[in-house]
Structure 1
Amino acid sequence: MGIILILTNSSGGLYDFRNELLLRLLENHRVIISLPDQTKTAELMEEGCEIIETPINRRGMNPKEDMKLFMTYQRLIKQIRPDMVITYTIKPNIYGGFASRLLKVPYITTITGLGGAFDREGLFLKMIVHMYRAGLKKAECIFFQNAENRDIFSSYRIAGKKERMVSGSGVNLKRHFFEPYPVGVRTTFLFVGRVMKERGILEYLEAAVRLHREDIEFAVLGYCDEDYQEMLDEYTEKGIISQWGFHTEVHSYIAKADAIVVASFHEGMSNALIEAAATGRPVIASNISGCREAFEEEMTGFGFTPGNADDLIRAMEKFLALSKEERAHMGKAAREKMECEFDRDSVIDSYISEINTILYNS
């Protein structure tokens, strides 16, 4: 039995989107996970995973904190002596990758999105590029979730030994099963995601103000990752939006909506979109890599320019012009697309194939 060490920044994200991989790994390996929170650690431990709590500042760069994280990863790898390290998200990818490289432990990395790092210029951009090169240089395989992220890495000569494209984390088609379309006369738009500027919350709220009327509901599902709670409360009091809170199980909430809105500026692959589509709901989505792969324009949803409230409203108005029957038809087409292109089992097979090749054929 081998030892797999997983480095990530969220127990919720790991359990919700990659648990099927963990279960496959647990069949033949001891799985140890380093993460900073306890949201889903009980569930992970019940399945047989071992948890090590490692603080991570997910927002911004603090040299002292980041150096401490790197040294923590080095210490963990020396103590655990894993046969392989698997990393997810930016800081575990960079610092966990570099620690694995220095200690000559095989590792694979998944690029779950780049945030706004590569939109910057000057010294900051040069530093980011240098850090990614150092962290990923000896990665046995880099998994990309969209072609744009892969091309950005290629343009900056950031590479490992091999790269592979997957359909995000895929979607569990049994857990997110098809739901009949809502029959009420009211149209519910549902914003799904962390409430923060880069997720498009300001554009969504502007659309809610400008399209506000009795037969439309603008709901928000997610927690505040930035200081917008006061604004949300004000808009709720005025009857412009409704807050559905933060929930670790979102399927039943998605099923209540007529359309799901994802207004992100950056995505690796939007799990909210593919879960909504699997449930049979049309989507209103940013026309960016990581979103556009998950829908077909005017067939399963409508795209718009991120950061542009006018264009979001245009997309919403196109949706509002559809009959209930046309919307339901879009939802069925969305489900079919997920079955054909985003089945999580296929994504897991890709990972297992690479892991087995590295562990048993190297």
Structure 2
Amino acid sequence: MIKKKKILILGNSHLVVFKFRGELIEELINQNYDVWVCFPNGPFGEGEETSKKYGCHFIEIKMERRGTNPLKDFLILKEYYSIVKKVAPDVVLGYTVKPDVYGGIVCRLLNISFIPNITGLGKGLDEKGIVQKITIALYKFAVKKSKCVFFQNDNDKHFFDEHGIGYQKGKILPGSGVNLSKYHVLPYPGDDEPIRFIYVARIMKAKGIDQYLEAAHIIKHKYPDVEFHICGFCEEDYKTILENKSESKEIIYHGLVEDISEFEKFSHCVVLPSFHPEGISNVLLEGAACGRPLITTDHSGCRETVDDGVTGYIVRQRDSEDLVDKMIRFIQLPNSERMRMGELGRKKIEREFNRQIVVNAYIKEIHSCE
């Protein structure tokens, strides 16, 4: 009997592994690979449960996604070493900063094929200082012998090249892609409905929440019927601000939402004024796949999703005035033009961001490791 090849997937959450890589896991299992996944479990044990549904094995690891405590990070490195030794995978796939860095270090030490995915530079690389210098040094060791480094945008690849983070082979993917069979075009709201903008993201400064709130405040005075919806978990201290603005009817805050399509159904436009170091924003990809125009920034990971003036608008980063201008421009369009923007956005996703492109690229690289 031929022994199955083992694939170990390292991530920082259930969402990162199964929502954005579920199709890859399914394809690997279909091709008779023995798939293992490793990430911090959620409060309801969904890691174990979802892994069983897919037919793969789950290993839990403790990890603070945004923590910078060196002792805790050393424990992650130590635990990864034990996990990799125990599983003895043929290939390891890494997603997000800590799995990429510490998983990469372990794989290099143990001479195991490693394929990291740079899902965004993260705060450690994006902001100059001692943390950036340490993170660059760690990446240099972690990815040097990787079989292939997958990037999600040109800017991130350029950063690695500019800072001497060497690798044997690098390729740019269309983000995580979108499963076009799951994200269908939703019926567009009618002429008689109030314009509804929707912001979907973690509630944090770098995702442009301040600019969105300021735009809502200004536009509400001129167009009182326009609605500004917000969906997301407060990762930073915005809870009181959102509660106050909800009471004054400037915004409608829905909290963390599991099925965002229910809110996209009644929305006219997805707005994300982010300057966070994204890979490619999945919120924008999914919004466009549903036939919704996008308004987002000229930041890497955002601008790639929009053809400016065709499928939505691109605004300057941290510029509330420009955001207000583009949102008002959108409000003043005939509804037929807004709908047309959404239709063209869907076609762009079909051409450029089909998740099958990503799956195929991974299968090719994994086969090359054999």
Shorter chain as denominator, the TM-score bin is over 0.9
Question: Is 1:154 matched with 2:154?
Answer: no
User: Could you say which residue in structure 2 is the equivalent of 1:190?
Assistant: 198
**2-side partners of 1:197 and 1:288: how far apart?**
14
Among candidates 156, 171, 179, match of residue 172 of structure 1: 179
User: Could you say which residue in structure 1 is the equivalent of 2:261?
Assistant: 251
Distance 1:29 1:271, change over 3 A: same
User: Could you say which residue in structure 2 is the equivalent of 1:242?
Assistant: 252
Among candidates 270, 273, 276, match of residue 281 of structure 2: 270
Give 1:180-219 correspondences, 5 Å limit: 180-183=187-190, 184-212=192-220, 213-219=223-229
Distance 1:122 1:220, change over 3 A: closer
Q: TM-score, normalised by structure 1?
A: 0.96
Q: TM-score, normalised by structure 2?
A: 0.94
**Greater Cα shift, 164-173 or 30-39:** 30-39
**1-side partners of 2:259 and 2:83: how far apart?**
31
8 Å contact 1:185–1:215 — kept in the other structure? no
User: Could you say which residue in structure 2 is the equivalent of 1:287?
Assistant: 298
User: Could you say which residue in structure 1 is the equivalent of 2:114?
Assistant: 107
**2-side partners of 1:86 and 1:19: how far apart?**
13
Question: Is 1:3 matched with 2:6?
Answer: yes
8 Å contact 2:125–2:131 — kept in the other structure? no
**2-side partners of 1:138 and 1:119: how far apart?**
23
Question: Is 1:62 matched with 2:73?
Answer: no
**2-side partners of 1:79 and 1:199: how far apart?**
39
8 Å contact 1:9–1:35 — kept in the other structure? yes
| 1:194-248 deviation digits (Å, cap 9, x = unpaired) | 1111111111111111111431111011111112112111111111111123223
Unaligned runs of 5+ in 2: none
8 Å contact 1:269–1:290 — kept in the other structure? yes
8 Å contact 1:217–1:242 — kept in the other structure? yes
**1-side partners of 2:29 and 2:259: how far apart?**
23
Distance 1:164 1:54, change over 3 A: same
Question: Is 1:36 matched with 2:40?
Answer: yes
Letter in 1 for 2:39: L
- 1:131 CA displacement: 1.0
| 1:181-204 deviation digits (Å, cap 9, x = unpaired) | 111430111001111111111111
3-state SS of 1:57 partner? coil
8 Å contact 1:255–1:281 — kept in the other structure? no
- 1:10 CA displacement: 1.0
Give 1:44-83 correspondences, 5 Å limit: 44-83=51-90
Aligned residues: 359
Q: In percent, how many aligned pairs have the same letter?
A: 37
| 1:119-151 deviation digits (Å, cap 9, x = unpaired) | 433433321210110111111100011000000
User: Could you say which residue in structure 1 is the equivalent of 2:235?
Assistant: 225
Unaligned runs of 5+ in 1: none
Letter in 1 for 2:363: I
3-state SS of 2:265 partner? helix
User: Could you say which residue in structure 2 is the equivalent of 1:316?
Assistant: 327
8 Å contact 2:151–2:171 — kept in the other structure? yes
| 1:236-291 deviation digits (Å, cap 9, x = unpaired) | 11111111232233223222210001121121101111111111000001111111
3-state SS of 1:211 partner? helix
